[in-house]
Each structure stands twice: as structure tokens, then as C-alpha cells.
Amino acid sequence: MMRLKINRRGFLQSALCTAALASQVRQAPAKPQSPSAQDAYQVFFGDLHNHNDVGYAKGSLQRAFDIACSYLDFFALTPHAQWHDMPLMEGDRHL
């Protein structure tokens, strides 16, 4: 492996030369990152994580659907998991 010997003067000369050359490079203007009116984007509003009394959360499924139909573009019901040794709940709602 070849070791380069560098001193302060050599380092400063290299750094100044690199900075001078970099300042002469012309860059194209950056394209704006935010969407503009002419871009073909659509915004949708929705709920991808809704719990209700289908699992063991609160709120009725019908109310969740009513709210989704009135205010949202998309909706996903996400009930909690069920398993064989799950403790009994009031009214056996988890069955």
C-alpha cells in the first residue's frame, strides 16, 4: 500500500483548487419537487386502520360505514385478531 505524504500547504492548495473549479461548474436549475397544477396528481382521503365492535373495540360497523361513505374516498376495516384461548368478553362479542 502506497502512503501519500501530505502537509498543510498541499492540503490547502488542493482544497482551494477544488473549490475554485467547483465554482466554475454551471448546474442546471433544479426541477421543483412539489406538484404543480399541471401535474396529474390526485389526493384521496381515507382510513386504513379502523377498529369497531366487529373485533373488541367500540363503535358500530354501521356507523363506521356511514362516516366512511360521507367523508372518505377509501376505507378499510381492521378487526383485531382472534385466537382459541382469547379471554371471554362481555356478551361474547369476540365470537
DSSP letter string, 29-82: PPPP-S--TTS------EEEEE--TTTTSSS-HHHHHHHHHHH-SEEEE-PPP-
pTM of the model: 0.45
- Residue 50: CB atoms within 10 A of its CB come to 20
Rounded Cα–Cα distance for residues 29 and 55 (Å): 54
pLDDT score at 8: 77
pLDDT at 1: 58
Q: Which residues of the chain have pLDDT under 50?
A: none
